[in-house]
Structure formats: C-alpha cells, structure tokens
Amino acid sequence: MKIAVIGGAGVRTVIFINGLLKRYKNLNIDEVVLYDIQEEKQKIIEKLCKHVVNREQKDLKLWAVSDPVEAIRGADFIVTTLRVGGDSSRVIDETVALDLGVIGQETTGAGGFSMAVRTIPVLLKYCEMIKRHAPEAWIFNFTNPSGLVTQALHSAGYSRVIGICDAPSSTKFRMAKALEVTDDELYVEFFGLNHLSWIRSVKKKGEEILPELLADDGFLKHIQEFSIFDPEQLRSIGFLPNEYLYYYYHREKALENIKISGATRGKTIEAVNIRMMEELQAMDMDGDPEGALQVFLYYMQLRENSYMSIETGLEKRPLIEKGQLEVPEGMGYAGVMLDCIEGMQREEGKYLVLSIENNGSIPGLEDQDVIETTCLVSKDGICPVKIEEVPEDCYLLIRLIKWYEKLTIEAVKTQSRETAIRALTLHPLVNSYSLAKQLVDRYDEAYGGMKNAI
C-alpha cells in the first residue's frame, strides 16, 4: 500500500518516517511519496528521510515528486500537513492579534481563524484531486486548525477525512508512565473538539481512577499538561483538561506571559527553522548524512522545548548536544495515524482519539458536526464512544466553538467579511464586535483581502 504526504517538506516528516519503519511491514505499507511546493526544502527533508531508512537497513520505498497528482494517484492513505503561507504568515497571525490585545495562537481564536481562511481553499483543491485520482484513499488531516479544517472538508462532502492530533496520545503516554502501566493497560476517554476537549474517564487495568487522580495534587503537578491549571478548578469540573484549554481558563495569564517573553511561539519557530535550514544547506549532506541528521534533531529539540513554555511560563528542558540525539519513534501525529491504520486492519480494533463526525456521540450536536473523541477503530469502521451526559459548562463551550467554526467555514465559502466578523465576535478569546471588526480588517490588509489570503 502507498502513503502520500502532502506537505512533505514539513520537518515532522522525518520523525513520521522513522516511526513508520518500525511498523510498515505489519501495516502492509510498501511506499511513501512526498510532495510539497517548497522544492528546495523538500530535497533536504527527502535526503534526511532516506538516510533514516538506510541507517535502519529497511526496504521501504521513499521518494519525493514535484507533481501533486503523481503523489496522490493510487495512494491508499494520504496525510495533509500544510502550513499555507509558511512560518511568516503564522507570525503575522499572532502579531496582528497581540497588537489588539488578543491571543493569536495558531489553532484557537484569531490566529486559528486567519490560518483557516488561508488553508481551507487550498485543502479543498487537494481533496478534489484526491477524489479524481485516489477516490478510495483515507485522508488524515494534520493541518491546523485541525478540527476546523476537518469540519470544512466534511461539510464540502469529503467524508473519508480523519482529523488527527498528537496532544491526546502524548497526554496518555505521560499518564501511563506516571502510573507505571503500559499504554494498553490504561484507558483514557476524551470528548469535545480538537484543542477543546476533556478526559471524562481513566481506567487503570479496567478500574476507574479519575476521581482519585483529580484529588492527587502530586499527580496533577507531575503531568505537564495538567500542571498549568488550577487544581481546584479541575476538581470542580470533574474532568482532566486538554492543555489548550489553558487559553480559555487562564486567558489573562497566557496573554501576559506572551507579552513578557517578547516573542510569540510562531516567531520562535520561524527563527529555529531558518537557522536549521541554513546550517543544513551549508553542509555536504550526501557526504555526512548522519551529521546532517544530528543537526536536524538538535533544532527539532529546540522547537519542542519551546512548546507551551512561552504561554505558561514553564521552564524549558535541558538540551542534549548534537551527536547524542535519537530520532523519536512513532510519537506525534505519525503514531496516531499508524495506530489508526493498524486498527482498520484488525478485527478487535483499538481505541484512539480522532476528529470524526459526531453521529450521535455527544447529545445535542448534529450528526455531521466534527468532534474530537475516543473511537473504536476496527475492520468494521470508526465508531465514536457514546457520551451520555455532558456538563453544561463544557457543553456550552463546545456549542459556541462549533458555531464559530461553522461561521468561519461559511465566511470562507462566501468570501463574506460580515460573516467573518460574526464568527470572531462569538469566539471567547475575542468576544467583542469591535475587536472582531479590527481583526478582520487587519488580516485583510496583511493578506490583501480574504480572496487573496492564500
């Protein structure tokens, strides 16, 4: 079987390939094709990926192409991992918002809105190509804002799209490690939307332990995702939070920390990526592929070290020197995607957190609403768990963000400035008509209007 990666010049592609090497034969994967509009960057990423394959002495076929149709044609699985406008647009998204006193994070609020406006039209074009050249392929969307974008693709009639995110699986991994159990011995049930979800059940070897975890301050402080929240709030809700809820529950803290740091995460990532690519371009990658890989891994370490540290004020982890770095195995979006492919090939299946259509999972939402929830993935399909009851404070936030998503999609479809303003006015991280109007105007100015945002 064939995997196509649209956005193959993304730096996470190398880690994706390394994770795939441990599992490709069991998953019946024969080849991976990379495609990206950034051809020079793709050449560098392709060389790194091929070195990862060769150093493990594997026979996985891997190459890059300059024609998206060539990548897509005959693919069984397609990953979409784009950053439309590049790192510089992410910086614009964040800066415009911050100048107006609003959080501009790329998946929530104003930043997520601007990115969605640029991204949805591009992904719709790729989906139309996929419909023509690989109609039976499953599309795994990792492009941010993942939940909103996945909703847009489903709303346009592309039903074989699964939104994936590595936040829930990473949280579960750290929880299992802290509780000294294997991943298979721990059941963690999520519900909500992408980057707006809660854990409503934690079972250790079949026994429900969520209440005792909520009561354990030591456990809450030990897990990075939970340590940034006020324990009293978590106990009052009765659930454990997705870390991105920090922007909603501690909005003023996140905004103040970003201002104090003097740099947004987007600006930090842009600087890291520029330095990494400059160093790699100056190297003889063919003559010293392992040295190039160590350079790449060092800068990836810098990227990961900055994750949520600016907004939360958390201390950064100590750095490991070049020459001592290992390629991560299977974590991140690669692990989620490969787990999903594995589940699709098994009778008994496995539980995974995915963004899919609701289909009666969360009461009160429409069946076509894309949610992020725990699903049983097997040969019989992808079945979301049934969430019988949702506390009103969680439910209202889910409904509000879902309506914001739908208005954003409608604004993109109709190129309507008025609908765009309505969408941002509703979002809790904006919550102001006058601010929403200024945000839309300034994003229009930065990108030459919604029609030119891409």
User: What span, in angstroms and rounded, lies between the C-alpha atoms of 336 and 315?
Assistant: 28
Active site residue 244: yes
Question: Is 90 annotated for ligand binding?
Answer: yes
Instruction: For 69-122, give the DSSP string.
Output: HHHHTT-SEEEE---TTHHHHHHHHHHHHHHTT----TTSHHHHHHHHHHHHHH
Torsion of the alpha carbons at 51, 165, 453 and 70, rounded to the nearest 10 = 40
User: What span, in angstroms and rounded, lies between the C-alpha atoms of 53 and 47?
Assistant: 10
Give the active site residue among 126, 158, 244, 247: 244
Question: Is 250 annotated for ligand binding?
Answer: no
Run of H or E residues at 292: helix 289-305
User: What span, in angstroms and rounded, lies between the C-alpha atoms of 193 and 198?
Assistant: 9
User: What span, in angstroms and rounded, lies between the C-alpha atoms of 424 and 108?
Assistant: 11
Token reading at 301: 């370490």
User: What span, in angstroms and rounded, lies between the C-alpha atoms of 325 and 256?
Assistant: 34
Partners of 189 in beta bridges: 201
Question: Is 275 annotated for ligand binding?
Answer: no
Question: Is 144 annotated for ligand binding?
Answer: yes
Active site residue 166: yes
Give the active site residue among 36, 93, 166, 369: 166
User: What span, in angstroms and rounded, lies between the C-alpha atoms of 353 and 355?
Assistant: 7
CA-CA-CA-CA torsion sign (109, 441, 273, 78): positive
Q: Which of 328, 330, 421, 405 is nearest to 372 (CA)?
A: 405
Q: CB–CB of 5/35 below 8 Å?
A: yes
**Active site positions, annotated:** 166, 244
Binding residue ranges for substrate: 90, 144
Binding residue ranges for Mn(2+): 165, 195
Binding residue ranges: 90, 144, 165, 195
